[in-house]
Amino acid sequence: MNHESLTMNNEPKIMAEQSLKNKTVKGVGWSAIDNVAGHGVTFIVSVVLARLLTPEHYGLIGIIAIFTAVCQTLINAGFTTALILKNNRKWISVLVL
């Protein structure tokens, strides 16, 4: 028996031993770390930009950030799927859906 066959045979056994609860806890933990790290980086970038830019330019960046957040919300809400499914209709009818 070589080392690879032992690894392949034991791998499903190890995965089966992990409970769904453990997997869920690990997944939630990693998701929380990702969320906190993302917000932390955004905050640090905002502080650096606030120090480097004039108030007018920083305000413009804020307006762009709001526009980007609204667009991202539309994308996450399935707006692209509606456009693909209803490509022969007018834009206003797609937005009402």
pLDDT (tens digit, 9 = 90+) per residue, 27-84?
A: 999 999 999 999 999 999 999 999 999 999 999 999 999 999 998 887 777 665 665 5
List b or e across 45-65, with b for residues whose CB sees 16 or more CB atoms inside 10 angstroms. Answer: eeeeeeeeeeeeeeeeeeeee
Query: In Å, what is the CA distance from 1 to each residue of 13, 15, 27, 30, 60?
Result: 18, 22, 35, 37, 66
Sign of the dihedral through C-alpha 19, 24, 25, 27: positive
47 and 22 within one domain:
yes
Let me know whether 72 and 96 are in one domain: yes
- The number of residues making up the chain comes to 97
- Find all residues with CB under 8 Å of 49, minimum gap 6, and list them: 58, 61
pLDDT for residue 84: 57
pLDDT classification of 13: cutoffs 50, 70, 90: low
**Statement to judge: residues 48 and 59 lie in one domain:** no
Give the per-residue pLDDT at 19: 82
**Do 82 and 97 meet the contact criterion of CB atoms below 8 Å apart?**
yes
Residues 78 and 47 in one domain: no
**Number of domains, the chain:** 2
pLDDT for res 97: 42
On whether both 69 and 84 belong to a single domain, the answer is yes
**Same domain for 43 and 86:** no
Cα-based distances in Å from 62 to 8, 22, 43, 47, 59: 52, 40, 13, 12, 5
Considering the domain architecture, whether residues 47 and 8 belong to the same structural domain is answered as: yes
Are 45 and 76 found together in one domain? no
Residue 85 has pLDDT above 50, yes or no: yes
Residue 64 lies in domain? 54-97
pLDDT at position 77, please?
74
